[in-house]
Amino acid sequence: MNLLKFMEEFPTEESCKHHFRHQREQEGVVCKRCGSTKHWWLQVKWQWQCTECDTRTTLKSGSIMEGSKVPVRTWYLAMAFMTFSKKTISAAELQRQLNHPKYDTVWRLMHKIRSAMGKRDALYQLEGSIEYDDAYLSTTTSKHQKLKRGRGSQRKTKVAVMAESIPLEDMQSGRKYKQCRYFKMKVKSQMKRSKRVSVKKVSSLPTRAPVM
């Protein structure tokens, strides 16, 4: 999905709330009080009501949006901007794109999204032939921080990148190529020379690359 397609599917706050409600109901809403999974939907309140104990659950409760006054569509837009490009986006740039008045709010929002994606990616494992390399990612810094130049700049974070490398061959043309199913990234303190390793299974590494 690109940004134009996103704007077509989620043009309003209500469209985002309806989508989020549908996603939560597919996963299953659990009552915090009694643990029941059976609820009534209260459209006027935009809440679920437990059929066992009548406890109500708000749309954002139990999600990364819980306790946030930021509109659901703003959360959706933030996830879109963080995932639609291969390049990272800073909190200051995201604040500008969202036209949000508070930098700290946007920074916390980004942190919660990245944290949630890290937990999701931890469920996957790399298997087979793994290719390893090093990379630098842009890092959010204080506007008043004195910055270094070059590889030691605070604007860059060193990361280790590991990707599945599955060799494939086109049966008709005989052309050989590789396919990547999953990849993992992990912040590291020292950079080492890149190399290729082949293993049967590699434990999950937390990634900072959000996926939508």
Count of CB atoms situated within 10 Å of the CB of 47: 16
Alpha helices by DSSP H, listed for 10-66, are: 13-27
Six token digits for residue 4: 């134009």
Cross-strand partners of 59: none
Distance CA 144, CA 105 (A): 18
Structure tokens of 107?
């920074």
What is the model's pLDDT at position 211?
36
Say if residues 49 and 61 touch (Cβ distance below 8 Å): no
Cα 56 from chain centroid?
A: 28
Please list, in sequence order, all residues whose beta carbon lies within 8 angstroms of the beta carbon of residue 68, skipping any fewer than 6 positions away.
60, 75, 109
With beta carbons less than 8 A apart as the criterion, state whether 147 and 154 touch: yes
Tens digit of each residue's pLDDT (9 = 90 or more) over 111-159: 999 888 777 666 677 777 888 888 777 665 555 556 566 555 656 777 8
pLDDT reported for residue 166? 81
pLDDT of residue 132: 82
The DSSP H or E segment spanning 28 is none
For every residue of 70-104, DSSP letters joined together read: S-HHHHHHHHHHHHSSSS---HHHHHHHHT-S-HH
Record the pTM. 0.62
CA atoms of 208 and 16, how far apart (whole Å): 25
Q: Is 150 helix (H, G, I), strand (E, B) or coil?
A: helix
Give every residue of the chain whose pLDDT is below 70, as ranges.
Answer: 120-123, 138-155, 189-212
| pLDDT value for 84 | 83
The pLDDT of residue 141: 55
Structure tokens at 102: 């508070």
pLDDT on residue 206: 39
Whether 46 and 58 have beta carbons less than 8 Å apart is answered as yes
